[in-house]
Amino acid sequence: MENNFKFYNTLTRQIDTVVPRVDGKIGMYTCGPTVYHFAHIGNIRSYIMEDVLEKALRYVGYDVKRVMNITDVGHLSSDGDTGEDKMLKGAKREHKSVMEVAKEYTDAFFKDFTAVHNRMPDVVEPATNCIPEFIHMVEVLIEKDYAYFAGGNVYFDTSKLDDYFVFSSAVEKEQLQVGVRDDVEEDVNKKNKNDFVLWFTQSKFEDQALKWDSPWGVGYPGWHIECSCISMKHLGEYVDIHCGGVDNIFPHHTNEIAQSESYLGHDWCKYWFHVNHLNDRAGKMSKSNGAILTVSVLQEKGYNPLAYRFFCLQSHYRKPLEFSFDALDNAVAAYNKIAKRVAELKDEGDIDETAFADFKKKFTDAVSNDLNTSMAITIVYDVLKADISDRTKLALIDDFEQVLDLGLRESGKALLEASSSVDSELEAFINDKIAERAAAKKAKDFATADAIRDELLAKGVAIKDTREGVKWELV
């Protein structure tokens, strides 16, 4: 099939037009969560943008098969094969078994994952389901002289590759080769600094919870090998598009390519899609910075998860996005305004086929051009302002929702119903709280002011400071 769908390919460091190996079909792999803790909203941003990518590909006519792993073993606290196993860390923290922790946080992940209208992947595979596949790949890599056994572990030998640093520019490669990961503890068993573990044995962790028999002793797989094997199990020897966050690029995706192509003897994945970080004012969001802000926590605070999806779609996936509650509140206000406007449309009049085709082309061009979601949302605004029938507008919104999936109709209807049912008692309560908040702010008691805002939000009332004073609306 012919199309002009393109995005920035991290491997080639340029925007490439997608040409799958099988015409009309795309095999897509997404690095899934390590289920030792909750996924924060920064993690969910990546999954939202990957979801939009998948839906955009389907929108332009591709048959997409998407596979996601669940890491429930083998991911150490440092990506450089050092530190404690994250799953074991989670089990110790919660005084539960590793598998109990894995189930709890897998369920929590998909609750938040689907709350923002992400489509479930066609295949979800926990790493613990694929131990025979991991062992087989390690055996083949040893046979082909790409791996070696040392100190009780099996390592991949990066010196056997012509180019290990496949994602890096010439300057970056030189820097990495000189001092890669100087900040982590040295593994004396490695032949080369960049070598990585394919299979750990008890020599690494005596108290490792999950262990399996292998030709090299009782142990467990390295993190990197999981994605290679799971993708091959479900997508075959070739992957069209591999997705992840920018923090996965090195060493995780670098190592995936190294072991996969050495195992297969040919190229493996042509297109790599990476989403940039969500930051707060303190820097990159992480699970190590104290309390974890999740989609569920946002919901508890009164936020519609789809307003968070809208917040993410307003920014380009390759740009860092700074989160604050003020920024989210602004997104909520914009989202609610659009949703209400959609809900007010009447399914009346004839569909203007010319206008429909024109707007659809603009939208298709936007999402096909490096997933320009902010432009796609601008086109939604343009449709709502256009001098065309309401029925044409609704048809276009429904068409665009195949990609954006913002739940505009449903949210708008709920907002209109809520706004029409505000009683005088509630309105008086809101006005009293706004007055209390103003007094607190005047006294520079910002903690109380924030608490009042959160109290109102918990009751479904969003407030916004404007030049005309404080505005409020039900959310």
User: Is residue 181 scored above 50 in pLDDT?
Assistant: no
pLDDT at 358: 98
More confident residue, 327 or 201: 327
Residues of the chain with CATH 1.10.730: 280-419
pLDDT at 288: 59
| pLDDT tens per residue across span 424-475 | 677 788 888 998 998 998 899 999 999 999 888 887 788 888 766 788 877 6
Is CATH 2.40.10.10 what the domain over 6-275 is classified as, yes or no?
no
- For residue 51, the SS3 value is helix
pLDDT at 182: 44
Q: What does pTM read for this prediction?
A: 0.87
User: Is residue 81 scored above 90 in pLDDT?
Assistant: no
Residues of the chain with CATH 3.40.50.620: 6-275
Q: Report the b/e string of 388-397 with b at 16+ CB within 10 A.
A: bbebbbbbbb
* Cα–Cα distance for residue pair 456/454, rounded to 1 Å: 5
| pLDDT tens per residue across span 111-120 | 999 999 999 9
pLDDT at 75: 67
| pLDDT tens per residue across span 312-326 | 999 999 999 999 999
**Average pLDDT of the segment spanning 340-364:** 96
222 in Cβ contact with 127 (< 8 Å): no
CATH number attached to the domain at 280-419: 1.10.730
Q: What is the DSSP track for 195-225?
A: -EEEEEETTT-TT-S--B--TT-SEEE-HHH
pLDDT band at 397 (very low <50, low <70, confident <90, very high): very high
Q: Before 251, cis peptide (omega within 30)?
A: yes
pLDDT at 179: 46
User: Is residue 197 scored above 90 in pLDDT?
Assistant: yes
pLDDT at 229: 98
Quote the mean pLDDT of the chain: 90
The pair of structure tokens assigned to 13 is 């460091």
